[in-house]
Structure 1
Amino acid sequence: MQKQTKKWLLSLLLVLLIGTLAACAGSTAYTDAQNIVEASALADLMAQEGVVVIDARSSEDYAKGHLKGAVNLSPDELNGQGTIPSMLGTPQQFNRVMSKGGILPDSTVIIYDANGGVSSGRLWWAMKAFGHENVKVVNGGASAIVNAGLEISGDATQVTSSAYSSKGMDASIVATIDDVKDAVANGTATIIDVRTPAEFDEGAIPTSILYPHTSNLYSDGTFKSARDIYLNYKDLGLEKETPVILYCKSSYRATQTMLLLQEAGFSNVKVYDGAWLEWSVSGEETTSPAGPVEATVQDAS
């Protein structure tokens, strides 16, 4: 009888252990994350002092319906006016845009979009680059907000302008063309191209590895877990301390990848600000002939 009891207890413990492990392995939600927040946590967060929610979609989509209380701000508003139109603008321009959105340097900023974290990632990266630390992206974007049953409004949120002052550019997360040249010539960093295979085949930066940004998403459009991201990029040969430079066509899609790599513990990651738009006209070597490339709304990347 005692042996049977022991066997039963051991069997029960084994079942409980397997269930616990399965639950842990199956959980893909981001809880207590540095850069990502679940839509289910938004209501409580928005009730706190100093929280600003940004809808990074187009003004047309915002007008059709947005999270009540969200401010519409496109990442395009932070682009400079130079020969490469997608590069970040000046600190003064950044300050003006943040002030218009009612954002202060100590605000907690939460961003959502409807394109797999591309627009949110771009705003997140730009804000980080100019020294704003407390900024997060909603996992699953606008769809997740609707699915969470949060209140949707068609009325524009009334904003009281602020007086924002940035800390200047943080070069630790922004790669220049000289950084990329050094990586190509001397292997100082692993270069990852997050564009589509078709774009990669038309021309790419030498030594770069293709890994499309869409590979960072599950089939429902939510971000892969930090564990899955780590394992996927480890398969590419990356360790958490590996120097990495990410690029796409216009440094939008690459920022989504950076967001997730940083969340997964990769600590030495930069986005090439000039991206393929700059490299393709620089006279530098490419993997195949590449003429001048124009930024388009369709690519938005």
Structure 2
Amino acid sequence: MKKTAKILFLLLVFAIVLTGCEADISVPGEVGQDIITADEALKVMEEEEVVVVDAQKSGDFEDQHLDGAVNIARNDITTFGPYPNMLADASKIESSLGDNGITNQSKVLIYDNNNNMDAARLWWTMLVYGHSTDNMKVISGGLNALEEAGATFTSGEYEVEALEYKADEKNEDLIATKDEILAQVNNPSDDVAILDVRTADEVSEGIIPGAIHINYVDNNKDNGEFYPPSYIQRYYPDNDITPDKEVIMYCQTSIRAAQSYIALHNAGYRDLKLYDGAWIEWSSDSSTPKAMPTGAPAEPSAQDGS
């Protein structure tokens, strides 16, 4: 009996090696709750009371936006000090959301025309200030996907009744500082991974020592929609970004990093932080160590392009 069990075990191991598949790595959080398809979003708009937020630049919004959408652009949720595109304070967020008819209880659908990055940054900002993940989703593929789904668009300005939004205290657990990054660089922990989501050209000029490079656009399919959680759950562990680690991500100013943040969160990752000062803070400090990247992202062991 023991011999038979051993043979069966060896056959199972051989099958796993032969197929190139690995055992599933469990994720701690709910999967698929943060990102919604354009078709699903249009159905929600018909059936529920929601606020649709267009995260384009104001000029692009005026040229074309979903009929009934409000506009919250990047400048409405960030500040330019001490470094560009850093998280704005609570009072600015309260004004930006409240002035656009959003309350703490509002269900919000967000889209952009920029590889999902600005929509994701607004989603992350609202998360930091306490908005429930049950009440906000990013529309995968943004404006182009909505067009393909048959959405109605308009142009020009809009009017909306201002309401009150009260931000919670900033959740520092979702934000990494330069000192945290430096501590990890100087004394690396196996439980922490630093993720650089910039382009290959950008990282070729320098990277935070020990960081793993995965371009944020790798989260998207060719049509600009996010890959499903099943793909993310293979792609990132194949590159040593596993759900059991604290993952700290950054780009040039951590707008793109927010897109990687939501892709991982949507796939069940929960111990996530955004380094808000980002590469621009790190590289501007002559005392911080810099390194050159090694290798390239691995392909998932079992791809799912759906």
What is the TM-score normalised by the length of structure 1?
0.82
Once the two structures are superposed, what CA deviation does each residue of 1:45-101 show, in whole Å capped at 9, x if it has no partner? Answer: 224554111111122221222111100110221112422122111111111111111
Unmatched segments (≥5 aa) in structure 2: 1-30, 293-306
* Correspondence for 1:163: 164
Query: Among 260, 264, 269, which residue is 2:263 paired with?
Result: 260
Q: Deviations over 1:102-148 (max 9, x none)?
A: 11011111110111111111111111111111211001110110111
Corresponding residue of 1:17: none
How do 1:158-237 and structure 2 match up within 5 A?
Answer: 158-188=159-189, 189-237=192-240
Distance across 1 between alignment mates of 2:41 and 2:265:
22
Identity of aligned residues (%): 35
Q: Kindly indicate whether the alpha-carbon contact (under 8 Å) linking 1:244 and 1:270 is maintained by their aligned counterparts in 2.
A: yes
RMSD: 1.5
Does the CA-based 8 Å contact 1:204-1:286 persist in structure 2?
A: yes
Q: What is the number of residues matched between the two proteins?
A: 257
C-alpha displacement of 1:199: 0.6
How far apart, in 2, do the equivalents of 1:234 and 1:33 lie? 18
Counterpart of 1:190 in 2: which secondary structure? Answer: strand
Letter in 2 for 1:228: Y
2:290 corresponds to: 286
Change (3 A) 1:49 1:157: farther
CA distance in 1, matches of 2:290, 2:34: 34
Q: Which has the higher contact order (CA 8 A, sep 6+)?
A: 2
Alignment partner, residue 56 of structure 1: 55
CA contact (8 A) 2:111 2:138 kept: yes
AA aligned opposite 2:65: H
| Separation in structure 2 between the aligned mates of residue 163 and residue 113 of structure 1, nearest angstrom | 24
Tell me the equivalent position of 2:140. 139
> In the aligned structure 1, how far is the partner of 2:102 from the partner of 2:200?
38
Query: 1:24 maps to which residue?
Result: none
Counterpart code for 2:263: L
1:71 counterpart = 2:75: no
When structure 1 is superposed on structure 2, of 259-268 and 59-68 the one drifting more is 59-68
Relative distance call for 1:140 and 1:81 in structure 2 (3 A) is closer
Q: Is the 8 A contact 1:175 1:271 kept in 2?
A: yes
Q: Distance in 1 between matches of 2:94 and 2:258?
A: 20
**Which deviates more from structure 2 when the two are superposed, residues 179-188 or residues 128-137?**
179-188
Residue identity opposite 1:70 in structure 2:
A
Q: Distance in 2 between matches of 1:281 and 1:229?
A: 32
Counterpart residue identity of residue 109, structure 1: V
Aligned residue identity for 1:76 = N
Stretches (4+) displaced over 6 A: none
CA distance in 2, matches of 1:65, 1:84: 30
Counterparts in 2 of 1:242 and 1:219: CA distance versus 1, 3 Å = same
Q: Which residue of 2 aligns with 1:247?
A: 250
Q: 2 CA distance for matches of 1:43 and 1:224?
A: 20
TM value normalised by structure 2: 0.80
Amino acid at match of 2:57: S
Q: Distance in 2 between matches of 1:148 and 1:36?
A: 16
Alignment deviations for residues 220-259 of structure 1 (CA, whole Å, 9 cap, x no partner)? 1111110111100010123212111000000101000010
Provide the residue aligned with 1:295 in structure 2.
Answer: none
8 Å CA contact retained: 1:37, 1:139: yes
Gap runs ≥5 in structure 1: 1-31, 289-301
Partners of 2:208 and 2:42 lie apart in 1 by 43
